[in-house]
Structure formats: C-alpha cells, structure tokens
Amino acid sequence: MESATVTAAAAGTWKLGDLEVNRLGFGAMRLTGNGMSGNSDGAPIARELAVRILRSAVEHGVNHIDTAAFYFSPLRSANELINRALAPYPGDLVIVTKVGPGRDPSGEWLPMARPDQLRGQVEENLRQLGRDHLDVVNLRWTGGGSIAEHFGALAELREAGLVRHLGLSSVTPEHLAEAQAIAPVVCVQNAYGLDRRLADANGLLDSCRQQGIAFVPFFAISGQRREAPADGTHDDRLHAVARARGATPAQVRLAWTLHRGPNVLAIPGTSDPTHLAENITAGALRLSQADLDCLDCLEALA
C-alpha cells in the first residue's frame, strides 16, 4: 500500500474518556532494546533515530502513545525518549502509561507493587515524562485474585488529580467488572491478535464493546512471539490476503485487528522507520468480508 499521504486518522477515532485519539497509535517499548520477556534484548537503536521515529509518528497523525516507566534498558528509557522527542507536548497527544510491575535499576523484575507503592510509580512516570498529570494509567495486573485494593488506590490518585483516566491491562472480564464498580475504566489492554484470541473466548472483547470501553491489543502483529519479530511465522492464507491487497502480512494483521470493532485500537511498536510508515498505512486498509472470513479461519490459541 502507498504510504505517502496516509495518516493515522485513516483508522478512525475513539475516545478514552473525554480524550479522542486516532485508533492507530504507537507502542514505545521496542525503542529501548529491552523487552518484557527478553525477546528484544539486542542493542537499542541510536537515540536520535528513536527520537525521529517518535516525531515522525506524531507528524503522521499518531496521537496515542503507549509507554511505561519499566520500559528501559541500560541505555534507553521509553519515557525519557518520549519526553526528549515530543515535549512540549501537542495538545491532542494522549500518553498512556501503566503501573503495577516494576524493575530494579539493573533491570531485574520486582514483585507486583503493593497498593501503597502505586503512587510512587505514578510519580516516577510523571517525572520521566515531565508532566503534572498522566492522561491514562493502566493497572497492569500480574497477580491472581482481586484487583480491588490496587485499583482503589489508583482511583484515589485520580481524585487527587495526578491521573485523568484509568484503564486495565492483562485482566479478565471479572477484573473489569470489579474495577468498574470502583471507578470508570476507559480502556483494557490485553494480548490479542489473529493467533491469540482469548478475549473472544472469555467474552472480554464483547464486554468492552457493550460498555463503550476501548479494547487495546498488544502483540497484535507478533502474536505468540511477543516482542520477537513475526517474520516467517505468517500462515499461507494470510500471505494470500496480503498479496491480493498489495499489503504486507503485518499490515493485514493490523487491519484485521481494527476490523474487530470501532472500539478496538492498535498500538504497534517498531524501531524501523519503514515499518512505522507501513503500520500507519495499515489504518487505511479495508478488508472485504471474504478476507475476514479467510483470516478468521486461521488457527488461534485461546
């Protein structure tokens, strides 16, 4: 697909609370050279290239950026890169961060934060981003059982003005219901894609749609490979749809994701300017019902 004139606006818009964003956003994790599970632990790209990618994303209509204070390597911090590249921030830019997990300065993962530690994590994101409040904070859940105490602590920070809106990440429909009883949830961010559709099986995607909550898949392109590149893993039928549409398999995966509903957003990350342009262009790719039927038949893991 030609990318010269396509912007992120081609994907349409959705609101995170009162904050309208284009449905095609950008995830900052890949810029740091250190992935959640170690699959992108290679040397990070040059700092100036990372800055250029972020600026290019915004110049091409991306106004929803996903990040976290725990996205860092010994040489790079996603929040620091965002601050350097984009501050002073455009008025329509929405930065979504997340709290719950943490890492020590060497990068080792720490236990899930206690409710009383969440304020410190919020303030760390504020400091790194150079903000006086955070647009959206997701509670990234890594434990079992109830999220009420943790989400309640974030609701207090929302009331105090440190956070504008709240979301959830890596949760179940039961967690969503529990949180909604405490404070409004504007987005749910879970792993989801052509080959990973637990949110279909457990009803979470339907629940978000019915309640007008944004559903924001991560790993929409790489699927089971998480931070690792998806190249070489695409099904022949996916390749066939891509060829027919003059698109790449990654673009078809993103387009399929956006076709799952008007409340479904995408936050693909990349450290390659060419892939950034391709991802943004995918927001303009319209799949036929025959395309969707073909893709829906691909084997997916719940």
Catalytic residue set: 71
Residue-level length of the chain: 302
**Dihedral of the alpha carbons of 175, 113, 193, 197, in degrees to the nearest 10:** -40
Distance from C-alpha of 271 to C-alpha of 266, rounded to nearest angstrom: 16
| Pair 148, 178: CB distance under 8 Å | yes
Distance from C-alpha of 226 to C-alpha of 266, rounded to nearest angstrom: 15
Distance from C-alpha of 255 to C-alpha of 239, rounded to nearest angstrom: 14
Closest CA to 288 of 261, 263, 252: 252
Distance from C-alpha of 156 to C-alpha of 150, rounded to nearest angstrom: 10
Distance from C-alpha of 243 to C-alpha of 252, rounded to nearest angstrom: 10
| Pair 107, 54: CB distance under 8 Å | no
The continuous run of DSSP H or E covering 174 comes out as helix 173-180
Lookup: tokens for 64:
């929803």
Buried b (16+ CB within 10 A) or exposed e, 90-127: eeebbbbbbbbbbeeeeeeeeeebeeebbbebbebbbe
The residue type found at 161 is: G
Residue 68 three-state SS: coil
